[in-house]
């Protein structure tokens, strides 16, 4: 089988690359290889009833398949260069924003119309945050919600399925460079192409590392973010979430001058588990449909850790901490803030009496046995700092789930075209280490598609 372009991975990066390529050149023969399922066949077996915890499927339906890691996400498309990746360093700040806005237009025209765009421009919260030693980052955020995000993906697939050849449940095993392009090897056969776009996301991080080693593509190690997911009564944060939906707030700790930040805020959302390469961590999302919303808001508090010499494996460090929580709690651990402060574990009984009802069934335990002291101290300090702008954050009943780990792929060396040292081999999205979000990953897909079509 011969293709003009092969795209590896059908997450936002791969989808938007395919979308733009088919739009700009309908004559191109495009093959998309995806390790996971079609969108409608993606189903996590955890039903909270018969199956309560991860059964380690061959491919994780939460992380893999059409839509990638973002398919069941909250669908928050942040239009900003302040966080979500460093795409702007390669393509320029204005171009990065233009592309994110373009992605937003496509989402709106594929089912996202009517959803709200929130912005930090002109908000009074910036000042209130600053007065309390907190910094609110600038962004506009389109909140599609898990349900509309799914609809948009379904519509994009309907539009693309006859224009590109999709191969689901077909993980690419290896990538070979030839005189005229690349050969993609899968267990079902090998496929040739002139140009190859690799967009394998976080779930493909180990594969990406191997391929970079085999093709001698330089990489550099990246960071890992560690912390907890906070869950509290939605009213406590409603003054922030009603206006901004998601507020990215950074705090510098007094003790160590470490930076702690809020991440992935989900008003009226649910806390969920996430499986990355067999390690269970915590995450969160929320629905746009009021009928599916909860009484709680959740968000992560994360501390970034970088390693240089002699230890460089930031992700390995994060994995070890997550494994420790998996070992102690069989998965994710939940603890009341009041119990953490009193130096005692949470128990089922204390949770039953808690004012905040957990949206995830996690094992009650003690996070101080899992998270390093410096990280935990930073998180506690930030909870007290947030308590000043959202009183009640530091209540005893606030729930902390651990651990939340944000793994970053190592950074793959690419040029201003997002092209590797091998001509015609483009590395995009979270798999490149350049992006860490839906909007940046999608924008990187559009960008390389235009580069390829332009050539
Ligand atoms: C629960 C959750 C909630 C999130 N919420 C948000 C949010 O609200 N806003 C936000 O900006 N970001 C969010 N994110 C992050 C966001 O989903 C990612 O940044 C984004 O999906 C990255 O897109 P990508 O295309 O680079 O990679 P991915 O979406 O990870 O897609 C990569 C695809 O490649 C496939 N793949 C991997 N290896 C291979 C291989 N060898 N062969 C073939 N296919 C392969 C995978 O199966 C996967 O489908 C969330 C993530 C999770 C898990």
- What are residue 426's DSSP bridge partners? 197, 419
Specify the residue with its C-alpha closest to ligand 1, atom 15: 437
| 33 Cβ below 6 A of ligand 1 | yes
| 9 Cβ below 6 A of ligand 1 | yes
Q: Report the residue among 85, 152, 200 best suited for mutation to probe ligand 1: largest number of ligand atoms under 8 A from its CB.
A: 200
| 112 Cβ below 6 A of ligand 1 | no
**Among candidate residues 396, 317, 412, 331, the one with its CA nearest the CA of residue 364:** 331
Ligand 1 atom index nearest CA of 14: 25
| 32 Cβ below 6 A of ligand 1 | no
* pLDDT of 1: 63
User: Measured in angstroms, how far is the CA atom of residue 253 from the centroid of ligand 1?
Assistant: 31
| 441 Cβ below 6 A of ligand 1 | yes
CB atoms within 10 A of CB 48: 9
Reported pTM: 0.86
User: Measured in angstroms, how far is the CA atom of residue 306 from the centroid of ligand 1?
Assistant: 22
> Residue 64 to residues 203, 401, 413: CA-CA distances in angstroms?
7, 24, 25
User: Measured in angstroms, how far is the CA atom of residue 202 from the centroid of ligand 1?
Assistant: 6
Q: Report the residue among 36, 201, 298 best suited for mutation to probe ligand 1: largest number of ligand atoms under 8 A from its CB.
A: 201
Q: Is the dihedral of CA 108, 113, 119, 121 positive or negative?
A: positive
Cα dihedral 76/82/86/88 (nearest 10): 100
CA gap 334, 353 in Å, rounded: 14
**Among candidate residues 450, 381, 397, the one with its CA nearest the CA of residue 419:** 450
User: Measured in angstroms, how far is the CA atom of residue 13 from the centroid of ligand 1?
Assistant: 8
Specify the residue with its C-alpha closest to ligand 1, atom 47: 64
User: Measured in angstroms, how far is the CA atom of residue 182 from the centroid of ligand 1?
Assistant: 24
pLDDT tens track, the chain, 455 positions: 699 999 999 999 999 999 999 999 999 999 999 999 999 999 988 776 788 767 878 888 888 999 999 898 889 999 999 999 999 999 999 999 999 999 999 999 999 999 999 999 899 999 999 999 999 999 999 999 989 999 999 999 999 999 999 999 999 999 999 999 999 999 989 999 999 999 999 889 889 999 999 999 999 877 899 999 999 999 999 999 999 998 999 999 998 999 999 999 999 999 999 877 778 999 998 887 899 999 999 999 999 988 877 887 888 899 999 999 999 988 899 999 999 999 999 999 999 999 999 999 999 999 999 999 999 999 999 999 999 999 999 999 999 999 999 888 889 999 999 999 999 999 999 999 999 999 999 999 999 999 999 87
Q: What is the pLDDT of residues 324-361, one digit of tens each?
A: 999 998 889 999 999 999 999 999 999 999 999 999 99
- What are residue 323's DSSP bridge partners? none
* pLDDT of 222: 73
Percent of the chain with pLDDT over 90: 82
User: Measured in angstroms, how far is the CA atom of residue 49 from the centroid of ligand 1?
Assistant: 27
> Residue 26 to residues 4, 22, 30, 103, 167: CA-CA distances in angstroms?
12, 5, 10, 20, 19
3-state class (DSSP) for residue 435:
strand
| 31 Cβ below 6 A of ligand 1 | no
Q: Could you give the residue ranges of the DSSP H alpha helices within 164-287?
A: 205-214, 238-244
Q: What is the pLDDT of residues 182-207, one digit of tens each?
A: 999 999 899 999 999 999 998 898 89
Q: Report the residue among 271, 438, 448 best suited for mutation to probe ligand 1: largest number of ligand atoms under 8 A from its CB.
A: 438
User: Measured in angstroms, how far is the CA atom of residue 300 from the centroid of ligand 1?
Assistant: 18
Sequential DSSP letters for 27-92: T--EEEE-SS--GGG---S--SSS--S----SS-TTTSSTTGGGTTS--EEEE-SSSSB-HHHHH-
| 424 Cβ below 6 A of ligand 1 | no
| 315 Cβ below 6 A of ligand 1 | no
* pLDDT of 48: 67
| 202 Cβ below 6 A of ligand 1 | yes
Whole-number average pLDDT of the chain: 94
Ligand 1 atom index nearest CA of 170: 43
Q: What is the pLDDT of residues 239-255, one digit of tens each?
A: 999 999 989 999 999 98
Ligand 1 atom index nearest CA of 65: 49
């Amino acid at each position: 089988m011969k293709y003009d372009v092969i795209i590896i991975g059908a997450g936002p990066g791969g989808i938007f690359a395919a979308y733009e390529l088919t739009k700009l050149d309908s004559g191109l023969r495009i093959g998309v290889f995806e390790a996971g399922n079609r969108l409608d066949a993606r189903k996590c077996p955890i039903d909270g009833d018969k199956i309560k915890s991860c059964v380690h499927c061959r491919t994780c339906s939460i992380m893999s398949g059409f839509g990638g890691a973002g398919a069941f996400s909250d669908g928050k498309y942040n239009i900003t260069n302040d966080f979500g990746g460093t795409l702007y360093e390669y393509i320029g700040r204005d171009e990065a924003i233009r592309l994110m806005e373009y992605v937003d237009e496509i989402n709106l025209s594929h089912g996202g119309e009517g959803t709200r765009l929130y912005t930090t421009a002109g908000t009074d919260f910036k000042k209130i945050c600053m007065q309390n030693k907190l910094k609110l980052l600038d962004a506009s955020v389109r909140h599609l919600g898990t349900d509309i995000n799914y609809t948009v993906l379904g519509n994009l697939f309907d539009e693309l399925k006859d224009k590109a050849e999709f191969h689901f449940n077909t993980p690419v095993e290896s990538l070979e460079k030839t005189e005229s392009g690349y050969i993609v090897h899968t267990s079902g056969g090998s496929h040739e192409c002139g140009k190859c776009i690799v967009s394998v996301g976080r779930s493909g991080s180990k594969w990406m590392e191997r391929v970079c080693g085999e093709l001698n593509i330089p990489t550099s190690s990246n960071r890992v973010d560690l912390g907890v997911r906070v869950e509290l009564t939605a009213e406590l944060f409603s003054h922030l979430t009603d206006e901004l939906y998601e507020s990215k707030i950074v705090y510098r700790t007094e003790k160590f001058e470490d930076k702690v930040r809020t991440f992935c805020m989900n008003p009226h959302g649910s806390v969920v588990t996430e499986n990355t390469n067999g390690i269970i961590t915590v995450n969160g999302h929320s629905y746009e449909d009021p009928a599916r919303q909860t009484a709680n808001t959740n968000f992560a508090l994360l501390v970034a850790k970088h390693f240089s010499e002699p230890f460089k494996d930031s992700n390995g460090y994060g994995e070890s901490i997550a494994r420790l929580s998996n070992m102690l709690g069989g998965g994710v651990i939940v603890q009341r803030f009041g119990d953490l402060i009193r130096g005692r574990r949470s128990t089922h009984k204390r949770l039953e009496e808690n004012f905040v009802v957990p949206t995830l069934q996690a094992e009650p335990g003690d996070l101080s046995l899992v998270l390093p002291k410096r990280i935990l101290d930073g998180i506690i300090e930030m909870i007290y700092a947030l308590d000043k702008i959202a009183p009640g954050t530091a209540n005893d009943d606030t729930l902390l789930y651990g651990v939340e780990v944000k793994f970053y792929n190592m950074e793959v060396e690419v040029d201003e075209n997002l092209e590797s040292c091998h001509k015609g081999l483009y590395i995009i999205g979270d798999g490149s280490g350049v992006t860490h979000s839906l909007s940046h990953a999608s924008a990187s897909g559009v960008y390389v598609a235009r580069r390829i079509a332009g050539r």
